[in-house]
């Protein structure tokens, strides 16, 4: 694959990543009331999950797989923007790949763990002691797999990748500098949103609900990066001394 093909492929891949992430996400909003449903009582959540059946499980499965797309996206972008002036990019790329893996692990609890709990909770033959145990198990799995692995560690690593990539984009001849700055400006919003996660164990902690806006801006940024790579003039690639065609 030559330089031009790599740039165009990476641009297309990034756009596909955003699309593939949002299809199951929007489907979960429509069919499962995500993510507002996470604030409902456990028995209600599990009853709604059980009612969703196989289609809901598969939607979560696709959502988890979509998170894994961040791994090849990180590697492709590393090849596109890596320069001698960006020695930090290797660490940022590793963070991006790990973020995709951890977010996928967190999401996959809805595919391989929650269905078991939902079946037990909604089974008429289940006694009250077992239902109580299911409720505890759900909260533990949600807190560990979702909050710790998927959201806190996954999102913190995502911020690290975004900052590193944003700085590299600012110095890359393939992009307008404001695109790099856009990525950097999403980082504070995602970091402040971590207060919601800490508030699950520190109830008196002030909560700043900036994560939804941060992710919307982050996804727009990723689309802009992809579109920029699709539209970058081939002559700009020819004049790049560090990455000749």
Higher-pLDDT residue of 56, 83: 56
> Is 209 part of any domain?
yes
Q: What is the pLDDT of residues 137-184, one digit of tens each?
A: 999 999 999 999 999 999 999 999 999 999 999 999 899 999 999 999
> Is 245 part of any domain?
no
Task: Give the CA distances from residue 58 to residues 52, 61, 65, 201, in Å, rounded to whole numbers and listed in that order.
Answer: 10, 5, 10, 31
Query: 89 with 39: CB under 8 angstroms?
Result: no
> Is 244 part of any domain?
no
Range of the structural domain that residue 183 is part of = 3-238
> Is 107 part of any domain?
yes
> Is 142 part of any domain?
yes
> Across the chain, what does the average pLDDT equal?
94
Query: 193 with 209: CB under 8 angstroms?
Result: yes
Note the pTM of the prediction, 2 decimals. Answer: 0.93
Q: Helix H segments across 69-153?
A: 70-81, 89-107, 109-112, 114-122, 128-141
Reference 225, options 73, 2, 14, 3; nearest CA is 14
Residues 205 and 130: their CA atoms lie apart, in Å, by 33
Contacts of residue 197, Cβ cutoff 8 Å, sequence gap at least 6 = 147, 151, 152
Query: 56 with 32: CB under 8 angstroms?
Result: yes
> Is 71 part of any domain?
yes
Please count the structural domains in the chain. Answer: 1
Q: What is the pLDDT of residues 18-61, one digit of tens each?
A: 999 999 999 999 999 998 999 899 999 999 999 999 999 999 99
> Is 243 part of any domain?
no
Residues 134 and 128: their CA atoms lie apart, in Å, by 10
pLDDT range class, residue 233, cuts 50, 70, 90: confident
| Interval 127-131 mean pLDDT | 96
Residue 187 has pLDDT above 60, yes or no: yes
Residue 243: predicted pLDDT: 57
């Amino acid at each position: 694959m030559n330089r031009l093909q790599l740039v165009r492929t990476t641009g297309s891949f990034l756009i596909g990543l955003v699309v593939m992430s949002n299809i199951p996400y929007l489907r979960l909003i429509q069919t499962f009331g995500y993510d507002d449903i996470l604030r409902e009582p456990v028995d209600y959540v599990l009853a709604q999950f059980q009612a969703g059946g196989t289609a809901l499980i598969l939607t979560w499965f696709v959502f988890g797989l979509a998170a894994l797309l961040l791994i090849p996206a990180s590697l492709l972008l590393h090849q596109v923007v890596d320069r001698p002036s960006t020695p930090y990019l290797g660490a940022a790329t590793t963070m991006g790949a790990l973020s995709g893996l951890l977010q996928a692990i967190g999401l996959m609890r809805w595919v391989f763990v929650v269905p078991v709990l939902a079946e037990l909770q909604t089974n008429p033959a289940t006694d009250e002691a077992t239902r109580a145990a299911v409720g505890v198990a759900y909260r533990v799995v949600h807190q560990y797999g979702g909050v710790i692995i998927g959201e806190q560690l996954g999102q913190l690593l995502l911020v690290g990748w975004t900052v590193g990539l944003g700085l590299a984009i600012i110095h890359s001849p393939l992009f307008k500098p404001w695109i790099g700055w856009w990525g950097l400006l999403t980082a504070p919003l995602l970091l402040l949103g971590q207060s919601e996660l800490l508030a699950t164990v520190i109830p008196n902690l002030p909560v700043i609900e900036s994560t939804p806006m941060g992710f919307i801006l982050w996804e727009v940024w990723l689309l802009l990066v992809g579109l920029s790579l699709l539209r970058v003039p081939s002559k700009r690639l020819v004049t790049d001394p560090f990455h000749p065609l």
